[in-house]
A and B are shown apart, each in its own frame.
Chain A
Amino acid sequence: AQKVTQAQTEISVVEKEDVTLDCVYETRDTTYYLFWYKQPPSGELVFLIRRNSFDEQNEISGRYSWNFQKSTSSFNFTITASQVVDSAVYFCALSQYGNKLVFGAGTILRVKS
């Protein structure tokens, strides 16, 4: 069975601090996909990034970066120089190609000015 664990329920930081959101996953599949989604207070789910199990390259996109490590089954997400607009719930998710997403419980990020 697939499982995603986001151990951090809630994180509060002050603007301009860096923050890392942890994600640990479990799967027996050799091919799988990992995702991060953002859910702002307005409620929609916004796709941030996708990684497949064969691609362990870390990625940086502006203030966002992702660290995928198969050896520890982790796919962590870092926001550099956080801003108030980053306040949201962040979900890590896992799927096989074309199949359902299995979501973690989410991490509430509060960025204070």
Chain B
Amino acid sequence: DSGVTQTPKHLITATGQRVTLRCSPRSGDLSVYWYQQSLDQGLQFLIQYYNGEERAKGNILERFSAQQFPDLHSELNLSSLELGDSALYFCASSGSGPQAFFGQGTRLTVV
């Protein structure tokens, strides 16, 4: 158990809808990262937050947004969903060391 909790584990939704993925980092970790894993793109970095502030952005679509709350949990919001957004979304957290710990992922299926 990495200590990073992601909910829900599975999500099935229709095109055009909006969903929110939630991540609770390991206790004390200030950095939260979101990654998307799809068959054609592999594991891609989306965005990083550090202590509530956006720190780095990757190939995140404008339809996607994220935030980190004062209690350090994070949410990834995906809107106007398309079939191609179907993927495994991972959250990871890191603290004082360089290593990131990953949650179990949320498998999103857009139908």
Tell whether A pairs with B. Answer: yes
Query: Which positions in A face B, CB cutoff 8 Å?
Result: 33, 35, 37, 43-45, 47, 50, 52, 91, 95, 97-103, 105-106
Number of interface residues of B (CB under 8 A): 24
Within 8 A of A (CB), among B9-64: 31, 33, 35, 42-43, 45, 48, 50, 56, 58
Are A43 and B101 in contact, with the CB atoms below 8 A? no
Task: Pick the residue among B2, B42, B56, B101 that contacts A99 (CB under 8 A).
Answer: B56
Task: Pick the residue among B92, B98, B104 that contacts A50 (CB under 8 A).
Answer: B98
Residues of A contacting B88 with CB < 8 Å?
43
Query: Which positions in B face A, CB cutoff 8 Å?
Result: 2, 31, 33, 35, 42-43, 45, 48, 50, 56, 58, 88, 90, 92, 94, 98-105, 107
Q: Which single residue of chain A is at the shortest CB-CB distance from B43?
A: A103
Q: Which single residue of chain A is at the shortest CB-CB distance from B96?
A: A98
Are B98 and A91 in contact, with the CB atoms below 8 A? no
Q: Which single residue of chain B is at the shortest CB-CB distance from A50?
A: B99
Are B56 and A47 in contact, with the CB atoms below 8 A? no
Bound: A100/B104 CA distance, A: 18
Are A100 and B102 in contact, with the CB atoms below 8 A? no
Residues of B contacting A33 with CB < 8 Å?
98-99
Are B105 and A43 in contact, with the CB atoms below 8 A? yes
Are B45 and A43 in contact, with the CB atoms below 8 A? no
Are A100 and B33 in contact, with the CB atoms below 8 A? yes
Bound: A106/B33 CA distance, A: 20
Whether A100 touches B98, Cβ cut-off 8 Å, given contacts A43-B105, A44-B104, is no
Are B99 and A103 in contact, with the CB atoms below 8 A? no
Q: What are 7 A-B contacts with C-beta separation under 8 Å?
A: A37-B102, A43-B88, A47-B101, A50-B98, A91-B43, A100-B45, A105-B42
